[in-house]
Homo-oligomer: A and B are copies of this chain.
Amino acid sequence: MQEITQLHAIFDRTRGYINHFMGIIQPIIDAAQDEHTRLYYHHILEEEEQRLGRLQELIPYLEKVSEKETLAELSDRELSQMLSDVNLERFGLHNFREHLELSLYEFQDEETRQTLDGMREKTHADYLQVKEIMASLSERFSDGSRPDLTDHDEGHDIHQVDHLKASASAANGVASVIKHSAPAKAVSGKKGLTVGSLKGL
């Protein structure tokens, strides 16, 4: 059950990152001088809120599963559903990495940039680890039909770009007009109808 414990740790960490990231981005939305900037960061935040909603259901579920003696205690259907949910969050980690990279182009102050880049680096490592764990789990439990775990972003040069470096010379964004001395507001995850909340239907 080591893999399930690892998955639990990864998604618990990324949940913390979402909250941290929201605290960094919300002031940009509040200070935005035009509708495009406002929509842009609002959109990114909304996607992360949706991810947070799903994780709020997945994390306790993984915790419960990790307490079992063996994965054999799950039915085929439960196992398949769990892998499917984890796979959705594998994409979620990938997309979060890109949200972090995109945000690097907004911030000029070194402290925020290092925070974003640190989360980016760890998120990418977590993404790769989830991929490995899924390969291992599906190998042991599938009926022979192995999932295709190829990076779906393979062949896209953009993923080889060092965005920390590339963003260093980017034009000042709206972030330059907000006060960085103010403590980042923690945004409470507004919870609407989530995939997970429907599971109890």
> In whole angstroms, how far apart are the Cα atoms of A148 and B201 in the complex?
11
Q: In the complex this chain forms, how many copies of it are found?
A: 2
> In whole angstroms, how far apart are the Cα atoms of A34 and B153 in the complex?
19
Indicate whether A61 reaches chain B with its CB closer than 8 angstroms. Answer: no
Q: Is the interface of A mostly helix, strand, loop or mixed?
A: helix
State whether A138 and B201 are in contact (beta carbons under 8 Å apart), knowing that A91-B50, A149-B193, A195-B88 are contacts in the complex. Answer: yes
Interface size class of A (residues with CB under 8 A): 35 or more
Could you say which residues of chain B place their CB within 8 Å of the CB of A1? none
| Contact code string A187-199 (vs B, CB < 8 Å = 1, else 0) | 0001111111111
Residues in A lying within 8 Å of B, measured CB to CB: 34-36, 38-40, 42-43, 46-47, 49-50, 53, 77, 79-81, 83-84, 87-88, 91, 94-95, 98-99, 101-102, 105, 138, 141-143, 145, 147-154, 156, 158, 161, 163, 166-167, 170, 190-201
